[in-house]
Structure 1
Amino acid sequence: MGTLITLKEWAALNERSYGSIRNTWVSHPDFPDPKNPRSRTVMGRGTPAHEYDSDELDAFANHWEATNRPPQLPMPDEPDEYRTLGAIARLLGVDGKTVTQYRETINEQVDHTDRGTRTIYHTRGVVEVLNKRRGMGMARPRKDRSPE
């Protein structure tokens, strides 16, 4: 048996979205059962969080990811060319949103050049980023969007 941990704690440790886990996984029939409620922290008030076995959560996550991972995209011809994200999507035969929804990650990880109103990206790098997608219920936590 692993460590007893709440879903929020486990999500943060594993760079996963707590909301996605709560909304997608918890209702799944194979999702691990909670072991016990954690005692309330603020003067005995509030809803107690359930504690789960971290090993069981890890095993469920591994199984979920293996069965729900998006299909691998084939490396296109001439992968070292620079193209727009739309051109790469057409080349791969996928909807443009399949590519552009990862624009932030692609911008961080793939060599690209701004050419006026268009940005062109190293095709191989974009395909490699897309092939690392984790699948439904595996989203990384959103960055803090509060104003500075």
Structure 2
Amino acid sequence: MEFETLEEWAQRHGRNLKAVRALAARPDFPAPKRPRPRSGSGTPWQEYDSAELDDWLDRWDAARRPEEVTVPDGTDLDEYRALGAIADLIGRARKTVSQYREHFDAHASYEDRGKRRFYRTGDIIDLLNARLGYGRALDPERDRRRHATSED
């Protein structure tokens, strides 16, 4: 059995420490297993069972994953469409799709046709289905939300 503090666990999973501390207040969050003494004075850090935390996180993430995007049968996934047309095709609000435009530009095949950009439908569907879910940034380095540091 391996043990780690919440800070170590948050760092290992690329999570914000303040968000992890908020999750730890939930009644279903695993309880600490033992204290880790500090050098000098101060309250000892609490250590948690790493496997128990990982199992809890898997269940938490699974419950918050975005709904899988599907297309109607017979849809040509190789066809190039504007993002609005793809949103209409999958029955979602256009902003739900267009908010990821920068990510799509970096990871999907597209063609510029005058002032409009058309994306390969299958690429957009795959990228939408690869979203991480509630509270997870596609690129944590560019996440606009406040970042916690170890001093928080």
2:122 to 105, 121, 124: 124
The alignment partner of 1:119 has SS state of strand
**CA RMSD across the alignment:** 2.9
Q: Find the counterpart in structure 1 of residue 131 from structure 2.
A: 133
TM-score by structure 1 length? 0.73
State the one-letter code of the partner of 2:117.
T
How far 1:136 sits from its partner (Å)?
A: 1.9
Change in CA separation of 1:21 and 1:9 when aligned onto 2, cut-off 3 Å: same
**Unmatched runs of 5 consecutive residues or more in structure 2:** 144-152
Aligned residue among 64, 68, 75 for 1:68: 64
Number of equivalenced pairs? 141
1:55 is displaced (CA, Å) by 0.5
Query: Per-residue displacement from partner, 1:15-35 (whole Å, max 9, x unpaired)?
Result: 344444344x32332111223
Specify the alignment match of 1:13 in structure 2.
Answer: 12
Q: Secondary structure at the residue paired with 1:88?
A: helix
Partner of 1:34 in structure 2?
32
Offset of 1:116 from its aligned partner? 4.5
Report % sequence identity: 43
2:58 pairs with 1:58: no
> Which residues of structure 1 form unaligned runs of 5+?
none
CA contact (8 A) 1:73 1:130 kept: yes
CA offset digits 1:75-119 (Å, max 9, x no partner): 341221112222211211112232233334323321123344432
Distance 1:140 1:13, change over 3 A: farther
* Structure-2-length-normalised TM-score: 0.71
Q: Supply the distance in 2 between the matched residues of 1:128 and 1:74 (Cα, whole angstroms).
A: 10
Alpha-carbon distance in 2 for matches of 1:122, 1:91:
13
Q: For the pair shown, which has the larger CA radius of gyration, 1 or 2? A: 2
Which letter maps to 1:54?
S
Identify the structure with bigger relative contact order (alpha carbons < 8 Å, sequence gap 6+): 1
Change (3 A) 1:141 1:127: closer
